[in-house]
Amino acid sequence: MAKNSFKTLISQKHKTFPADLNMYGMKCKSQLLEDQENVTLIINRRNSIRQKPKSWAWTLLRCRWQKKLVLLLIFICVCVLIVFANTHLLVRGNILSAFLSSRLTKHSHAEKQEARYPDIPATTPPVPPVLRPTHYLLNYSATQLELGSHLNGLSSDYNIFVIYTRENYHLNLKFDLFAHSLLKHTSAQLHLHVITDSESQPSVLEILQRQIRRFRRTVIYTIYDVKVCSSIIQDIAAKLSPYFSSTPNSYYSDSLFFLSLGLHRIADRSLNRAILLDCDIVFRSDVRLLFNEFDNFLPHQLYGLAPELTPVYRHILYRYRVRYPKTSFGNPYYPINNEGGNQHSRVHHGYPGLNSGVVLLLLNRIRNSKSYLEKLTHSEVHTLVAKYSFKGHLGDQDFFTLLGYEYPNLIYRLDCIWNRQLCTWWKDHGYSQIFDAYFRCEGNIKMYHGNCNTRIPE
């Protein structure tokens, strides 16, 4: 009995076990399918919530090598900006010239299109301002005769140009001393050309009338509008100021500091000989003697300037002098080691540069000199500056210095007695041992130049 019951139990157990196993497997599969569906639903729901429109930056940075490429490009751009900010102005000029060359090709293409289609209206260039100087006849009487825009037959062989703008107390004192010394030492019929502004004009007239009454002289006086004069020479100043002024808004960046290079445009066509003077000039002799220096000009000489009496160009040319230590450019006019040597030995004068406080101009020669006008082009100035690694800050004086060394036949060397500069700034700024060699000027001084606000000796 026991054996039978045990067998029946075993048989029942074997009969029911496979059915229970199938049911368990079906339940597991259905549960797994439900779980999988739930997971996919959750994932789809999250993706629908977080999904955003793909930008070009995201698609670009999907791969690691693309990220590295973008970082490399950013690094290169930063390096280029750093190098450009610390490069010399000449390198920037090369980059700018390359950019402008493409622009010029575009302009030439536009000109061809205009020639091909002449019916297209061309833009008219701006009308340049017209210079209308006002002339006066000043004498020692109380009356003042205004001649208007014509001299009515009055003329003078002694034409002196001077700039008087942005009036202040010190400038007023300088011009008063200038007019006083000028009229004191001469009895010649002078024609004084003053480039001034409307605010400074009354002071100029008052100073001249006072000094004319004091010395009982008669002077032809012409006023020029400083704004019109600046616009006439603006193209010259635009070419030279990047090389010969320290910063765009500096003292010597004004176009008036390049006036001597464009005075032939401003002066009347009837004028040939003229002298441009700074306001801080004081005469110790007759100005007619200075005009006599024009008779010593050679046929090809256009300007006359005296040497610079400070080591400023020795300082500016330090790079060029390192490459060419035997050059005379930047040396004092009188040799340093020949002050008491053999007088029969040949003296090799240095070239310390030129000073533009006193400038003699042969206006007709300048107007007719094609070679000189070519040297005022941007390409010629850039070549000249690059050759001597030159970065000046003194306006037209820097250009005259380069021009006088590269083309010495264009400039007449005026003796230092006609422009005895008194500035000693460089003596206290690193050149005390050799300053006296530059400051040396032998002869009877005929004109003092109180540059650097230096006091004129009694």
Task: For 41-76, write each residue's pLDDT tens digit.
Answer: 776 666 665 555 555 555 555 667 777 788 888 888
316 is a domain residue: no
CATH no. for residue 410? Answer: 3.90.550.10
428 is a domain residue: no
What pLDDT, on a 0 to 100 scale, did the predictor assign at position 323? 96
CA atoms within 13 A on the CB side of 337: 0
| Beta strands 273-277 and 354-362, pairing class | antiparallel
Higher pLDDT, 20 or 260: 260
Tokens of 265: 């445009």
315 is a domain residue: no
| Beta strands 447-449 and 411-413, pairing class | unpaired
User: What percentage of the chain exceeds 70 in pLDDT?
Assistant: 71
Q: What is the spatial distance between Cα 432 and Cα 424, in angstroms, rounded to a whole number?
A: 10
Neighbour-count burial of 93, counting CB atoms closer than 10 A to its CB (0-12 exposed, 13-18 middle, 19+ buried): middle
Q: What is the spatial distance between Cα 450 and Cα 439, in angstroms, rounded to a whole number?
A: 14
13 is a domain residue: no
Q: What is the spatial distance between Cα 458 and Cα 448, in angstroms, rounded to a whole number?
A: 11
Instruction: Report the number of distinct structural domains present in the chain.
Output: 1
Tokens of 392: 């000046």
Mean of the per-residue pLDDT values of the chain: 82
* Distance set, CA 149 to CA 112, 128, 131, 221 (Å): 43, 19, 10, 12
CB-based contact 360:305 (threshold 8 Å) = yes
When pLDDT is cut at 50, 70 and 90, the band that residue 121 belongs to is very low
Average the pLDDT over each of 25-34, 103-112, 267-276, 370-379 and give the range with the smallest value: 103-112
8 is a domain residue: no
Q: What is the spatial distance between Cα 354 and Cα 400, in angstroms, rounded to a whole number?
A: 7
CB-based contact 160:194 (threshold 8 Å) = no
When pLDDT is cut at 50, 70 and 90, the band that residue 143 belongs to is low
Domain that holds residue 261: 134-307+351-419
Higher pLDDT, 336 or 8: 336
Alpha helices, DSSP H only, in 222-331?
226-232, 234-244, 263-266, 287-291, 312-316, 318-323
Q: How far apart are the first and last CA of the chain?
A: 157
174 is a domain residue: yes
Please spell the DSSP secondary structure of 269-287, one letter per residue.
TT--EEEEE-TTEEESS-H
Q: What is the spatial distance between Cα 4 and Cα 1, in angstroms, rounded to a whole number?
A: 5
SS3 156: coil
Q: What is the spatial distance between Cα 26 and Cα 28, in angstroms, rounded to a whole number?
A: 5
197 is a domain residue: yes
276 is a domain residue: yes
Q: Dihedral through CA 430, CA 432, CA 434, CA 439, nearest 10?
A: 110
